[in-house]
Amino acid sequence: MLSAQDRAIVKSTVPLLESGGEALITHFYRMMLSEYPQVRPLFNQAHQASGDQPRALANGVLMYARHIDQLDQLGDLVAKIINKHVALQILPEHYPIVGACLLRAISEVLGSEIATPEVMSAWGAAYGQLADILIGAEAAIYEEKAQAPGGWRGARPFLLVKRVEESDEIISFYFAPADNGPILAAAPGQYIGMKLVLDGEEVRRNYSLSALTDAGVYRISVKREAGGRVSNYLHDQMQVGATIDLFPPSGEFTLAASDKPLVLISGGVGITPTLPMLEAALASERPVHFIHCARNGGVHAFRDWVDALAAKHPQLKRYYCYAEDDGVSPAADKVGLLSQDQLAAWLPEQRDIDAYFLGPKGFMAAIKRHLQALGVPEKQSRYEFFGPAAALE
Ligand SMILES: Cc1cc2nc3c(=O)[nH]c(=O)nc-3n(C[C@H](O)[C@H](O)[C@H](O)COP(=O)(O)OP(=O)(O)OC[C@H]3O[C@@H](n4cnc5c(N)ncnc54)[C@H](O)[C@@H]3O)c2cc1C
Ligand code: HEM
């Protein structure tokens, strides 16, 4: 437990650290990645380059420091961090590395006059407290996943048993355990972690499960990313029979129990977690509106599958919006970007709905704004990022 004095010291330095946020981030990551090569594979280099991941971590630490008197105010931030850590297998031995680098960066940003031994000791205690919270919560989840039916701990080898081209740029990969055992059931919306060695270097990535897990296999659907290491490897080299290491499914962007009308809105490959959500929701009579936006028909994945569900389930309404008409694919319901008026026309009339959305950041910012303006309660409007969380304003 932190002393009242430590808490006061930490809170008093937060504004200084916030104003030096970029310097804090830069020092911290440069130090950690150069001095501790063992943690390098855990971090996605693209997220480093964009600054999103360093910013998310620094923001997490500062949010914690700001609310150090009332940790319950952190809302779902802690759950988000824990789920991401579990999916990438962050372990207790990694925390002292982050702690040491963070403290050195804090001391450099504050300067020696402010970063007195008392200040640094308060920050050391505060980091230790946060690390203990996360390590404890993560250990409980690792244990739970190891003990659950079909569960496991750490990496487990899976075989690629099927590949399906879903669009010009998305391929689905079906993985079954190499040991022929059962798999851990995933909640609709969860993702798996993957560990690969490419050109002698270990890399890790997350992929949403794009189908329910009842059949005993995990399906992911991956978009080829220009210049992307893992997506291009999977598309070009991962053939049926190959093995891959997977971590157990994780994630808190899951379908909450509710009988309100459900609205699933996706852009591009953001469609993946909405597919098992859609399938799960159709087991009840709940009305479902499925809205998907794609650049054009050529890159629109899973259209036939959703159409077939709509033909079978009268409570499902589906709407497609293409940014452009390629003149070849089946027509969209609307061509252009999804406007607020168009979204209003495709939502159920009553706005007491549960909305889930995912797509490129700009798309998500627009959807969030539109849903708010259209009267959807903020708490019922949920989203996730295919990368570190970022502000959507
Ligand atoms: C929870 C979650 C779920 C996800 N689900 C899915 C899913 O269902 N389907 C899916 O396709 N993706 C999904 N993703 C995204 C996925 O994890 C990968 O980020 C994505 O496949 C790109 O990985 P990559 O290795 O191919 O690209 P990366 O190698 O990570 O590169 C991505 C982009 O950054 C650029 N880049 C890389 N390194 C640098 C650098 N040092 N400097 C500048 N630019 C750089 C690359 O050129 C490329 O354009 C998900 C992510 C998360 C976090
Ligand atoms: C108290 C300590 C820590 C805090 C507050 C913290 C916070 C965060 C936050 C906020 C995110 C982004 C979550 C999201 O938006 O999805 C994140 C992701 C991540 N964290 Fe931590 N973290 C801590 C410790 C660690 C440690 C010890 C490691 C391992 C060395 C680590 C590795 C990662 C990785 C690899 C990601 C995902 C990166 C990516 O998407 O590229 N974190 N963490």
Look at 17-31, 88-102, 375-389 and tell me which has the smallest mean pLDDT.
17-31
pTM of the model: 0.93
Token pair of 73 as six digits: 């105010």
Distance between CA 304 and CA 248 in Å, rounded?
30
Please tell me the distance between residue 350's alpha carbon and the centre of ligand 2 in angstroms.
38
pLDDT in tens, 120-167: 999 999 999 999 999 999 999 999 999 999 999 999 999 999 999 999
For residue 92, pLDDT beyond 80: yes
Provide the pLDDT for residue 349.
92
Per the annotation, the verdict on 35 as an active-site residue is: no
Provide the pLDDT for residue 163.
98
Residue 341, sorted as left (phi over 0), alpha (psi -120 to 50) or beta, turns out to be: alpha
The mean pLDDT value for 235-244 works out to: 98
Provide the pLDDT for residue 328.
85
pLDDT in tens, 42-78: 888 777 777 777 778 778 888 888 888 777 777 778 8
- Give the model's confidence band at 25: pLDDT under 50 very low, under 70 low, under 90 confident, else very high: confident
- 290, with CB counted inside 10 A (0-12, 13-18, 19+), is buried
Quote the strand ranges of 141-217, DSSP E. 156-165, 170-177, 191-198, 201-208
Please tell me the distance between residue 258's alpha carbon and the centre of ligand 2 in angstroms.
31
Q: Percentage of residues in the chain with pLDDT exceeding 90?
A: 76
Distance between CA 240 and CA 174 in Å, rounded?
9
Active-site residue identified among 29, 64, 127, 138: 138
- 51, with CB counted inside 10 A (0-12, 13-18, 19+), is middle
Distance between CA 269 and CA 385 in Å, rounded?
12
Q: Give the residue, by CA position, lying nearest to ligand 2 atom 20.
A: 85
Provide the pLDDT for residue 391.
65
Closest ligand, as measured to the CA of 274:
1
351 in contact with ligand 1, CB cutoff 6 A: no
Per the annotation, the verdict on 138 as an active-site residue is: yes
Provide the pLDDT for residue 277.
98
231 in contact with ligand 1, CB cutoff 6 A: yes
Please tell me the distance between residue 99's alpha carbon and the centre of ligand 2 in angstroms.
12
pLDDT in tens, 173-198: 999 999 999 999 999 999 999 999 99
- Give the model's confidence band at 119: pLDDT under 50 very low, under 70 low, under 90 confident, else very high: very high
Active-site residue identified among 29, 64, 95, 218: 95
Please tell me the distance between residue 98's alpha carbon and the centre of ligand 2 in angstroms.
9
Look at 1-10, 139-148, 226-235, 274-283 and tell me which has the smallest mean pLDDT.
1-10
Considering just the CA atoms, what is the radius of gyration of the chain in Å? 22
Q: Give the residue, by CA position, lying nearest to ligand 1 atom 34.
A: 46
* Average pLDDT, rounded, for the chain: 93
For residue 215, pLDDT beyond 80: yes
- Phi (first) and psi of residue 326, to 5 degrees: -85, -5
Ligand 2 neighbours (beta carbon < 6 A): 39, 42-44, 47, 53, 56-57, 60-61, 80-81, 84-85, 88, 90, 94-95, 97-98, 130-131, 134, 387-389
The mean pLDDT value for 289-314 works out to: 97
Provide the pLDDT for residue 167.
97
Provide the pLDDT for residue 392.
66
Provide the pLDDT for residue 49.
73
Q: Which atom of ligand 2 is nearest to the CA of 389?
A: 15
Q: Give the residue, by CA position, lying nearest to ligand 1 atom 1.
A: 386
Q: Percentage of residues in the chain with pLDDT exceeding 70?
A: 99
The mean pLDDT value for 103-107 works out to: 90
Provide the pLDDT for residue 393.
64
Provide the pLDDT for residue 121.
95
